[in-house]
Structure 1
Amino acid sequence: MEFSHNLQMHALPQASPYIIRRFWGIIHKRLLKFSKFYCHWSGAQFSNQIMQLPFGLVLKWSDGTRVEEVLAMEAARKAGMPVPRVIFYGEHPDSPHALVSILMTRLPGHELGTVYETLDAAEQETILQEMDAYISSMRKWKSPWGEQRICSLSGTSIRSVRVPFHSMGPFDTEDQMNDYLLYPQGHHESYYDTEPDFLNLKKRVDVLFSDKHDIVYTHGDLKHHNILVHDGHVSGFIDWESAGWYPEYWDFTTALRYQDEDFWWYDFVLKLGGHRYLVYKDAERALTSLTVDSYAW
């Protein structure tokens, strides 16, 4: 079966007016309480970040959820990817780490990581080809913000748990992003026993930062728990809070940098395109060593 590698990005979605988002924020607070009752009644496990609701709905209200995630979901869904349909989203200015809540449809299926090894070879290949089609398609999307700008779908900052202070940008050039990623290393030099140890880490990072890369649209958190499968097909590609325009290596090196080579996910990511960026694996690890403490809140 052939899968389209040319899913088109439509006109950029626009955010709802603030007053509408505030209204739904109030409603979503009531739904949080209702979810506790519903889970108790139905026997489902309650989560205060991904809240189960009846009628096939889910309320996401977690750290770092932003309007940018909603817009990224809407863009991916319009392009034809299996993404939850956003019903309404609310704003919570009194909740600094969870400013936005999203009421969305629940997708069928199980996380890829929990079922992959129970699938037959044909099903595994189908899922690989479908994911390749989705990722290849969005890497072709043209940015309205310029070919070099690193930013979210809407041109704003990017939220990612693997960057200093969980947020970066927007940047007009890749060099600006590299400077930002390396900024915390200046506070870590005293951690190393000798200056050569510190300089060796910086030299390893330079393997990555000395190259120039295309800026492509990226999911931002390519993990097997963000892929749902049902009846041998991808039924969900979820968790778009980190989506945006990044250097082309980003999704793959993020997924591979600490992955054991004998785990099936490692080979899966290589086949998706990660093999082109294995040269940066050591540089990614060195960068993490220099800056990891800045990832905490």
Structure 2
Amino acid sequence: MDVAWTRILARLARAATYILRFNLPWTLWRLLPSSLRLSCYRRLQRCGHREPFSSITQLPFNLVLKEKREDPRIEVDNTRFVSTHTSIPVPQILDVILLSTAETEKGGVILMSKIEGESLWEWVIPRIRHAPEAAALIAQLEACMESNDLEPIMGIAAELEKMPRPTVDMSDDDLLVKDLRRAMNELRDLPPPSRAVSGLAGRPLLIGRAGEKYFAGPFADQDEFKEALFRKVSNIFRYRLPRLRRLAEPVFAKTHRICFTHADLHHDNILIKDGRLAAIIDWEHAGWYPEYWELTTMEALMVRTYSMNAFWDQVHPFGLGAYRDELKLEWVLSRSTGLMGVVGEDGDDYECPR
């Protein structure tokens, strides 16, 4: 019986590949009970591939199943919104199923089309150029790792920090740079529905920040949002508030545009194929934020990842030297908040590395 059922589900999945280009058959498929559809996806998972600690399973027939601990409709609605209102390539959402994981929290799964391509990080790696002395230290570091000789690692890493920063060879990237700038401009040109800082349709925002992931808002305006960030400062760092308020003065003095923002532009969320932007994925944190939030979240995701700093400094999708006051403020705020609250070796760490 199990063999027969597996064959039936495999045939259903195979048929799915022929109807990807048509919306109606998927609409009919979604009329079936969610338990039956989920059972089909779970069976296909047995034939799929999932990296350790990943929420993504690569299914047969160019399908992808994503497990969500939060309500999956947030990511689904954001992805569909971007697909409808911009030319930015995103995954095609085929199905979404809710699963109750707790009395107050709903998780679920998202079935979507697979997008071929390599991550931005994979694209950048072969284009990184190190100074000769830095390259020699990196070779030493890799040799220590391979031989499991961990004692010299900290010393080598400290020396490496003193070396000239790596560069990225951008000689063949004209089309990719244009794609990324166009994608950012399209998002930022979307007219906000109001002055609110919120998710779509006035929902709360799912914020990933300072080592935490939490829902917040909606906020009536950007001033309320900015004040909410101050309220997140950990009690042990409340003494920093006078300094933080001084840093905030030039930021609060500005009225920023409200822009639709991805808010999680990690290099693994940008896919490249044949030197062009293949897709931007993982839209769960997206929403209407002050215009600087895209930059400050990107910088937080690549702290001391110097090759990515070099790449984005050449792309500069927000303009050269954009939002420096905002970046300084958010750096110190996040270093005073939640799991990221830290004290430097010589006292409180207020210095933004960028």
Q: Which runs of 4+ in 1 moved over 6 A?
A: none
The question of 1:249 aligning with 2:311 is answered: no
**2:230 alignment partner AA:** L
Given the alignment, which residue of 88, 94, 104 partners 2:95? Answer: 88
Q: Contact 1:22/1:91 (CA < 8 Å) preserved in 2?
A: no
Q: Which residue of 2 aligns with 1:31?
A: 41
Distance 1:207 1:22, change over 3 A: farther
Deviation of 1:159 (Å): 0.6
Greater RCO (CA < 8 Å, at least 6 residues apart): 1
Distance 1:60 1:276, change over 3 A: same
Given the alignment, which residue of 89, 101, 113 partners 1:105? Answer: 113
TM-score under structure 2 normalisation?
0.66
Given the alignment, which residue of 73, 76, 81 partners 2:82? Answer: 76
Distance 1:123 1:142, change over 3 A: same
Q: Contact 2:334/2:340 (CA < 8 Å) preserved in 1?
A: no
TM-score under structure 1 normalisation?
0.78
Distance 1:97 1:269, change over 3 A: farther
| In structure 2, distance between residues paired with 1:210 and 1:26 | 55
Deviation of 1:272 (Å): 1.0
SS of the residue aligned with 1:121? coil
Q: Contact 1:25/1:92 (CA < 8 Å) preserved in 2?
A: no
Q: CA RMSD in A?
A: 3.0
Q: Contact 1:158/1:167 (CA < 8 Å) preserved in 2?
A: yes
Q: Which residue of 2 aligns with 1:131?
A: 180
Percent identity, aligned pairs only, is 24
**1:128 alignment partner AA:** V
**1:170 alignment partner AA:** P
Q: Which residue of 2 aligns with 1:157?
A: 204
| In structure 2, distance between residues paired with 1:102 and 1:272 | 30
Q: Contact 2:50/2:56 (CA < 8 Å) preserved in 1?
A: no
| In structure 2, distance between residues paired with 1:94 and 1:261 | 37
Q: Which residue of 2 aligns with 1:174?
A: 222
Tell me the number of residue pairs that the alignment of Structure 1 and Structure 2 aligns.
266
| In structure 2, distance between residues paired with 1:168 and 1:260 | 24
Q: Contact 2:44/2:60 (CA < 8 Å) preserved in 1?
A: no
Structure 2 unaligned segments of length 5 or more: list them. Answer: 1-29, 128-168, 342-354
Deviates more, 1:285-294 or 1:220-229: 285-294
**2:186 alignment partner AA:** S
Deviation of 1:279 (Å): 2.7
Given the alignment, which residue of 273, 276, 279 partners 1:233? Answer: 276
| In structure 1, distance between residues paired with 2:33 and 2:54 | 20
Deviation of 1:267 (Å): 3.8
| In structure 2, distance between residues paired with 1:154 and 1:178 | 20
Q: Contact 1:50/1:59 (CA < 8 Å) preserved in 2?
A: yes
Deviation of 1:102 (Å): 0.8
Distance 1:281 1:47, change over 3 A: closer
Deviation of 1:55 (Å): 0.7
SS of the residue aligned with 1:103? strand
**2:262 alignment partner AA:** H
Alignment of 1:141-152 (within 5 A): 141-144=190-193, 146=194, 148-152=195-199
Alignment of 1:272-291 (within 5 A): 272-273=317-318, 275-291=321-337
Q: Contact 2:206/2:213 (CA < 8 Å) preserved in 1?
A: no
| In structure 2, distance between residues paired with 1:22 and 1:202 | 55
Could you report, residue by residue, the CA deviation over 1:76-124 in whole angstroms, capped at 9, with x for unpaired residues? 2233221010001111123565523210001001101112243563442
| In structure 2, distance between residues paired with 1:22 and 1:207 | 55
Deviation of 1:174 (Å): 0.8
Distance 1:171 1:249, change over 3 A: same
Deviation of 1:46 (Å): 6.3
| In structure 2, distance between residues paired with 1:98 and 1:49 | 16
Could you report, residue by residue, the CA deviation over 1:3-53 in whole angstroms, capped at 9, with x for unpaired residues? xxxxxxxxxxxxxxxxx6994366335523531x213xxx76466611121
Q: Which residue of 2 aligns with 1:8?
A: none
Q: Contact 2:88/2:183 (CA < 8 Å) preserved in 1?
A: yes
Distance 1:214 1:53, change over 3 A: same
Q: Which residue of 1 aligns with 2:60?
A: 54
**2:322 alignment partner AA:** R
Deviation of 1:57 (Å): 0.4
